[in-house]
């Protein structure tokens, strides 16, 4: 495998030479720079690079080219190099083309010509994109063998994928290599899932704690006490970790499954400030996690917290794997999980065609299938758009009569533009059926009840906070959301201090809540990030009063 490639495409000879020059000056040491004068020539070059198994990191393409436009080229490039970063070069008059590129060609950025000086208007953009691009890993030696319709196998696939661990999944029913490995390891197919590690060891029916330990995820704290402990590594928790660690606080983050929370599974976040073309939840999570670690925060995964108690001015948390960790201040950022569908058959088929959240593995599993999504909020809309890239048809089932009241306008427009997406209003799922996997749905609408064949059902019907571990210590509302600020005074007149709780402070002094877990939260990623940062500021104020 050669050096990763940067490919510049422009039909204007002097402009192409300038692009090539600027790319070589900045990136020539670590990347191979190529130039093409037309879309057809660029596609031919990409195909040859692909045959040589040379990675392409970035495409920098002019929009106005004869024969094949920049948007058309970038759209076609997704089939050859789907993970390459794509940048469109446009003129001031090409705003419509840039927007089309964002929607149709998965473009990560667009640049206006001219870009001089490159130090200000070119390199910062490309540096950022290249930092988040990862070269294709060598063929992963970590192999997961499972039945496609195994609930425990699906949980392992989701855990590995969300923690960005490269692995290969081998379907025991259709993959010859899977059966050969089982024979060599003398493992019965009835004992799956099995995880074949890099060193040849095989874990049979492992739990996530065992898998995390064997693949190098850290699950044990290095210290017994920290200035700041954050429970939950969604946007709010990661923001708190970044700001706390950057200020020199000893910071520990405990995450039960994978960094990112619900946001980590979002295919594209398009309304986040500073990213005009959007970014994926995985991309945002990767950036935030690396930023927190660079400042010195410890992030433990998987590390579920099962209890908490007070000891003087300190808060002591108890992880499920044992031991205790003391915190001068604690930030609760455990977020929410989707409410389960309470209809006949749904519980039995969870993970077997009925899913809560939509990741890449689920999308690929149901390629060319008939998929249904339940919900009328942004999460449901984002999932429907994402799944439409794989499924033959996606049907959004909405309880109400209008999406405008519950879903962002840009998502409503996006759904309308997808030919294989339809919306059914005033429709509810009343039952699911299937033996080994989901096979069909029973739907109730204004026209009556009917049966529909279905390959997958993705459920986004409300949120439940992950706060059971706070029982008896931190006050919550009737739904389980953590009370903070003035709400604490209303619900808990026994607040122990003479001064009222600080904003985001819970019923326990020095314990704060941020993000969707908090009563009255804004339920937006940007709001969660802001609250995570503000919680650190208020934490300093509380410490100053001790």
CATH label of the domain that carries residue 490:
3.50.50.60
Q: Are 456 and 366 in contact (CB under 8 A)?
A: yes
Where a domain ends, among 108, 132, 156? 132
b/e map 184-222, b = 16+ CB within 10 Å: eeebeeeebbbbbeeeeebbeebebbebbebbebebebe
Same domain, 488 and 383: no
Residue 171 domain-assigned (yes or no): yes
pLDDT of residue 475: 93
Where a domain ends, among 152, 183, 214? 214
pLDDT of residue 193: 94
Same domain, 106 and 67: yes
Same domain, 302 and 411: no
Which residues span the domain enclosing 501?
A: 225-336+465-544
The sign one gets for the Cα dihedral 162, 163, 167, 170 is negative
Q: Are 491 and 501 in contact (CB under 8 A)?
A: no
Residue 433 domain-assigned (yes or no): yes
pLDDT of residue 84: 92
Q: What is the domain-level CATH number for residue 122?
A: 3.40.50.2300
Phi/psi at 449 (5° precision)? -105, 140
Residue 137 domain-assigned (yes or no): no
Same domain, 438 and 411: yes
b/e map 115-154, b = 16+ CB within 10 Å: beebeeebbebbeebbebbeeeeeeeebbbbbbbbbeebb
Residue 128 domain-assigned (yes or no): yes
Q: Structure tokens of 131? A: 């930092």
Same domain, 203 and 246: no
Q: Are 300 and 219 in contact (CB under 8 A)?
A: yes
Q: Are 399 and 407 in contact (CB under 8 A)?
A: no
Same domain, 243 and 331: yes
Same domain, 328 and 474: yes
Q: What is the domain-level CATH number for residue 176?
A: 3.40.30.10
Tally of domains within the chain: 4
Q: Are 373 and 397 in contact (CB under 8 A)?
A: yes
Same domain, 95 and 60: yes
Contacts (Cβ under 8 Å, ≥6 apart) of 319:
254, 300, 303, 304, 305, 306, 325
pLDDT of residue 219: 83
Same domain, 84 and 196: no
Residue 347 domain-assigned (yes or no): no
User: What is the spatial distance between Cα 319 and Cα 322, in angstroms, rounded to a whole number?
Assistant: 6
> Which of the 8 DSSP states describes residue 436?
S
Same domain, 516 and 369: no
Answer yes or no: pTM beyond 0.85: no
Same domain, 157 and 123: no
Contacts (Cβ under 8 Å, ≥6 apart) of 197:
142, 203, 214, 215
Helical (H) or strand (E) element with 47: helix 39-51
- Residue 12's Cβ-side half-sphere holds a number of Cα atoms within 13 Å equal to 13
Residue 343 domain-assigned (yes or no): no
Where a domain ends, among 80, 105, 132? 132
pLDDT of residue 140: 60
Residue 284 domain-assigned (yes or no): yes
User: What is the spatial distance between Cα 97 and Cα 75, in angstroms, rounded to a whole number?
Assistant: 13
Contacts (Cβ under 8 Å, ≥6 apart) of 488:
475, 495, 500, 501, 505, 506, 507
Where would I find the beta strands (DSSP E) of 63-211?
85-90, 109-112, 143-146, 168-171, 194-196, 202-204
Q: What is the mean pLDDT of each run of 10 residues along the chain (546 residues)?
A: 88 93 94 95 93 91 90 90 89 67 74 84 89 69 89 91 86 89 88 90 92 88 95 96 96 93 77 76 87 95 94 92 93 92 93 85 86 93 91 95 89 92 96 94 93 95 91 93 87 75 94 95 89 96 85
Same domain, 372 and 447: yes
User: What is the spatial distance between Cα 411 and Cα 239, in angstroms, rounded to a whole number?
Assistant: 26
Which residue carries 């390199």 as its tokens?
Answer: 123
pLDDT of residue 137: 59
Residue 220 domain-assigned (yes or no): no
């Amino acid at each position: 495998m050669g050096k990763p490639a940067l490919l510049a495409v422009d039909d204007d000879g002097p402009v192409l030479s300038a692009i090539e020059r600027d790319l070589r000056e900045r990136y020539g040491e670590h990347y191979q720079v190529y130039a093409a004068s037309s879309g057809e020539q660029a596609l031919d070059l990409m195909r040859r690079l692909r045959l040589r198994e040379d990675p392409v990191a970035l495409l920098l393409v002019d929009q106005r080219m004869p024969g094949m436009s920049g948007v058309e080229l970038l759209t076609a490039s997704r089939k050859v190099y789907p993970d390459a970063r794509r940048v469109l070069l446009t003129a001031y008059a090409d705003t419509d083309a840039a927007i089309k590129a964002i929607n149709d060609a998965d473009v990560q950025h667009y640049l206006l010509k001219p870009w001089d000086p490159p130090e200000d208007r070119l390199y910062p953009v490309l540096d950022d994109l290249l930092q988040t691009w990862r070269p294709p890993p060598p063929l992963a030696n970590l192999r997961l063998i499972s039945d496609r319709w195994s609930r425990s196998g699906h949980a392992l696939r989701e855990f590995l994928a969300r923690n960005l661990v490269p692995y290969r999944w081998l379907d025991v029913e259709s993959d010859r290599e899977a059966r050969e490995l089982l024979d060599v390891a003398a493992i019965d197919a009835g004992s799956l899932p099995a995880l074949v590690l890099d060193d040849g060891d095989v874990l049979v029916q492992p739990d996530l704690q065992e898998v995390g330990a064997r693949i190098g995820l850290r699950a044990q704290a290095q210290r017994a006490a920290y200035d700041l402990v954050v429970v939950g590594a969604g946007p709010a928790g990661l923001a708190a970790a970044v700001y706390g660690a950057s200020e020199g606080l000893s910071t520990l983050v405990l995450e039960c499954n994978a960094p990112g929370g619900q946001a980590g599974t979002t295919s594209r976040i398009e309304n986040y400030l500073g990213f005009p073309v959007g970014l994926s939840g995985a991309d945002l999570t990767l950036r935030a996690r690396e930023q927190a670690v660079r400042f010195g925060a410890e992030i433990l995964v998987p590390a579920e917290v099962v209890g908490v108690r007070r000891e003087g001015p300190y808060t002591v948390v108890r992880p499920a794997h044992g031991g205790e960790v003391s915190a001068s201040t604690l930030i609760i950022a455990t977020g929410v999980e989707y409410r389960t569908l309470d209809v006949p058959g749904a519980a039995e088929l969870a993970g077997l065609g009925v899913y809560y959240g939509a990741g890449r593995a689920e999308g690929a599993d149901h390629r060319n299938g008939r998929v249904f999504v339940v919900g009328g909020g942004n999460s449901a809309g984002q999932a429907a758009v994402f799944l439409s890239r794989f499924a033959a048809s996606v049907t959004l089932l909405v309880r109400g009569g209008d999406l405008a009241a519950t879903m962002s306008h840009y998502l409503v427009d996006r759904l309308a533009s997808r030919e294989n997406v339809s919306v059914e209003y005033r429709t509810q799922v009343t039952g699911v059926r299937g033996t080994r996997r989901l096979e069909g749905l029973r739907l109730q609408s204004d026209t009556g009840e009917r049966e529909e064949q279905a390959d997958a059902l993705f459920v986004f019907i409300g949120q439940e906070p992950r706060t059971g571990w706070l029982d008896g210590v931190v006050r919550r509302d009737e739904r389980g959301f953590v009370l903070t600020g003035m709400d604490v005074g209303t619900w808990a007149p026994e607040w122990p201090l003479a001064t009222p709780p600080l904003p985001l402070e819970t019923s326990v002094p020095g314990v704060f809540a941020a993000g969707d877990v908090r009563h009255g939260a804004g339920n937006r990623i940007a709001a969660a990030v802001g609250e995570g940062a503000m919680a650190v500021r208020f934490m300093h104020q509380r410490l100053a009063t001790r």
